[in-house]
Amino acid sequence: MSVTAPDTVAAAAAADRPQPYAELGLTAGEYQRIRDLLGRRPTDCELALYSVMWSEHCSYKSSRVHLRQFAEKAPATSALLAGIGQNAGVVDVGQGYAVTFKIESHNHPSYVEPFQGAATGVGGIVRDILAMGARPVAVMDALRFGPADAPDTARVLHGVVAGISFYGNCLGLPNIGGELAFDPCYAGNPLVNALCVGVMRHGDLQAAAAAGEGNQVILFGSRTGPDGIGGASVLASASFGGGEAAKRPSVQVGDPFMEKLLVECCLELGAAGLLAGLGDLGAAGLSCATAEMAAAAGTGLRIQLDAVPLRDPALGPAEILMSESQERMMAVAAPADVAAFLAVCGRWDVPATVIGEVTGTGRLQISWHGELVVDIAPQTAADGPVYQRPAARPASQDVLAADDPARLPRPSSGPELRATLLALLASPGLADKTWVTQQYDRHVRGDTVLAMPEDAGVIRIDEQTGLGVALATDGNGRYGRLDPYLGAQLALAEAYRNVAATGARPVAVTDCLNFGSPEDPAVMWQFAEAVRGLADGCQFLGIPVTGGNVSFYNQTQEVAIHPTPVVGVLGVLDDVRRRVPIGFAQPGCQVVLLGTTAAEFGGSAWAQVAHGHLGGRPPSPDLAAERAAASLLAAAAGAGLLAAAHDLSDGGLAVALAECCLAGRTGCRLELPGDPFTLLFSESAARLVVSVAPGGEESFAELCQRQAVPATVLGQTGGDSLAVTGQFAVPLAELAGIHQRVLPALFG
């Protein structure tokens, strides 16, 4: 494409010619639909715009028919100030504050170019939060890689962790938690899911809409370059099939310093009342921002594309429309406010340019050096096609379910149980994560009350009242593989429980749905089941899904990842000084197991680590029990009865106890009432272990009874070993050594 000879609307109306729609990721049917909508062939620019807007990543064309359940089954709540369909959901947390949060995938770019892929994943989700009018206050990352000892895992993991560290630290957002998991199914398709949370006053909410005829459209932030062209379509909406290095130009490049300036600049613009509308430029760049903001307001836009400041003057109009250059925002401002707007940008050294205006035509009209190159109804680009893809439960599912872990040999003697615990703690997925988390700044902004390895990150919002939020993300692809419906509910239950363990009241959900190709009916069945499970679970627990993201095509040729819904739960703490940590820090506290333990080993960490086994049924979620335990925890934390609380998940009670002891550097001595193997390693849901503050034992027992939460006293904290009477004892120094040396030995 050259500057001198753009393909214009007039030329498209006058003469037909073959167009490269397939190379841009459009099907023949989609291309025909564009022609029908326009009544002519699209121009080069229009074709580019539709190709990115109608990509799976931007249009949710395969998932939308399923995602509707999140709205249809949403529990009635007055706490939601903005829901699904916005950049991010907004939740009222009281005292005039609102919190917005969202999780999003950056999986494909992070495999092709791990450092920039992961870095710009952070940048993108932060701009989503910023676009709502909120100040971003923390980030989290849920990471999944191939086997820890596979050579390519080291390449991807080093790059991803360094990219998150580089971008998040420089941006000044504390990283307060997340996940790190390893499984062969992620070897060619790592999952990099980034979450951001932001805080605002109720009145600060911004609309991503281009309202008000005559208002000016301002593009501000970084200049537009040739990076990330087709990121949403070519990269994120197709499976890998070899030759991924050739896709590197589709990965964006991040500048966290510009993002920091953009954050401060946007917040100042909002505070000064200079924003009539605000949107971020993410996937599909300027195409998406213009089409969606016009569609949201039901207005038209007239854009002079040649006014867009460029990093590379050779870029043509279609490339500018498709570029996913980072650190850019688009705002709409009243003509009288433009001078003040540009002055604020100038103070922050943020380049800002008026590129067009809002019209009453209902058309998105884009010109290039005076010639019209796009003339479409914006809604047609913003809506996209909707597919009801075929879904079919694969027969292999029955074979998997029949392969019950009951047949696996189990440890029984004390020394065998001890060795099993140590083997689990030495497995990369359960080992100490400090090697990773130490590379993230958790302290910046000075409001981090809890961060990894705690169950949930806790951020203080108001220094006077102590109001704060807790956030956790969880997912378990192995459970999802065994049963996607239950797997999604177990992910929800675990994140909910993790938030509750800090003493917070869970209030809202965000999700990142990571799956293989939607064109495979087996994958589509997994997806449909997972969405149904999650929607049913949220309905039961009374907490709405406020937003999130779908990542399809996480597969290489025919091999898809395990269905991996990652669920983020937001909770509210009225006073963060009442938060409960996981560590046994004080001797002489009663240790109590909450919940009911059954012999549930399908998909368990024990089956994986000891036998390399995946089969049978996952644990049964018990959402009523989760809800009861959460109420109990909130009441007990509020009354100051708890010294520590930790949820039981991968590796069961044994791993949880080891983590409690190591986090607080205090041992415990326990007796197990029942089959020690089942009690120690089963992964039954809806369970926690707590230590009760001395003197609070009776009150806590009464509270358990009132909430009908089964409580089993196991023993006491104290000493310098994890000791199970009649079975085994492991000195804390030995536990720590095994737990802590795994990741440094693997990754340097």
Partner 1 sequence: MTARVGIVTFPGSLDDRDAARAVTRAGGEAVPLWHADRGLRGVDAVILPGGFSYGDYLRCGAIARFAQIMTELVPAAAAGLPVLGICNGFQILCEAQLLPGVLMRNHRRRFIDRRLRVRIEDTGTPWTSGYRPGQEITLVLKSGEGAYLADQATLAALEERGQVVARYADGNPNGSARLIAAVRNEPGNVVGIMPHPEHAIDPLTGPGDDGLAFFTSAIGQVVAG
* Rounded to 5°, angle at Cα 72 from 68 and 74: 110
Pick the closer one to partner 1 by CB: 171 or 658: 171
Please, which residues have CB within 8 angstroms of residue 661's CB and are 6 or more apart in sequence? 584, 667, 668, 722, 732, 735
Among 27, 95, 388, 438, binds partner 1 (CB under 8 A): 438
- Establish if 118 lies at the interface with partner 1 (CB under 8 A): no
What SS3 state is found at 714? strand
Least CB distance from residue 435 to partner 1, whole Å?
9
Q: Which amino acid is at 316?
A: G
Q: Which of residues 342-371 bind partner 1 (CB under 8 A)?
A: 348-349
Q: Does 33 bind partner 1 (CB under 8 A)?
A: no
Q: How far is the CB of 441 from partner 1 (least distance, A)?
A: 5
Size of the site for partner 1 (CB under 8 A): 31
Return the biggest CA–CA distance within the chain: 88
Q: Is 106 a catalytic residue?
A: yes
* Helix 414-425 and helix 652-664, axial crossing angle in degrees, nearest 10: 70
The strand pairing partners of 316, in sequence order, are none
Give CA–CA dist 262/343, Å, rounded. 14
The answer to whether 136 and 198 are in contact (CB under 8 A) is yes
325 binds partner 1 (CB under 8 A): no
Binds partner 1 (CB under 8 A): choice among 371, 441, 519, 720 = 441
* Interaction of residue 575 with partner 1, rule CB under 8 A: no
Q: In DSSP terms, which residues pair with 178 in a beta bridge?
A: 141
Query: Is 101 a binder of partner 1 (CB under 8 A)?
Result: no
- Closer to partner 1 at the Cβ: 286 or 352? 352
Tell me the residue length of the chain. 748
Instruction: Report whether 31 contacts 21 (CB < 8 A).
Output: yes
Distances (CA, A) of 739 to 305, 428, 446, 742: 56, 9, 29, 6
The answer to whether residues 657 and 645 touch, using CB atoms and an 8 Å cutoff, is: no
Catalytic residue among 106, 562, 646, 739: 106
Single out the residue of 68, 369, 407, 577 in contact with partner 1 (rule: CB under 8 A).
Answer: 577
For partner 1, the closer of residues 114 and 533 by Cβ is 114
Site string for partner 1, 233-272 (x = CB under 8 A): ----------------------xxxx-xx-----------
Please, what is the minimum distance in Å from the beta carbon of residue 578 to partner 1? 11
**Ranges within 449-478 binding partner 1 (CB under 8 A):** 449, 460, 463
Q: Does 442 bind partner 1 (CB under 8 A)?
A: yes
Identity of the residue, 303 or 642, whose beta carbon is nearer to partner 1 in the bound complex: 642
User: Cis before residue 18, ω within 30 degrees of 0?
Assistant: no
Residue 613 among the catalytic residues: no
- Whichever of 262 and 609 has its CB closer to partner 1, that residue is 262
**In the stretch 140-179, what mask flags binding to partner 1 with x, by CB under 8 A?**
----------------------x--xx--xx-x-------
Q: To the nearest whole angstrom, how small is the minimum distance from the Cβ of residue 174 to partner 1?
A: 9
Q: Residue 132: CA atoms inside 13 Å, Cβ hemisphere, count?
A: 31
Nearer to partner 1 (CB atom), residue 16 or residue 463: 463
* 56 touches 237 (CB < 8 A): yes
Closest separation between CB of residue 114 and partner 1, Å?
A: 15
Pairing label, strands 468-474, 89-94: unpaired
From the number of C-beta atoms within 10 Å of its C-beta (0-12, 13-18, 19+), residue 36 rates as: exposed
* Catalytic sites, residue numbers: 57, 106
Binding site for partner 1 (CB under 8 A): 162, 165-166, 169-170, 172, 255-258, 260-261, 348-349, 437-449, 460, 463, 576-577
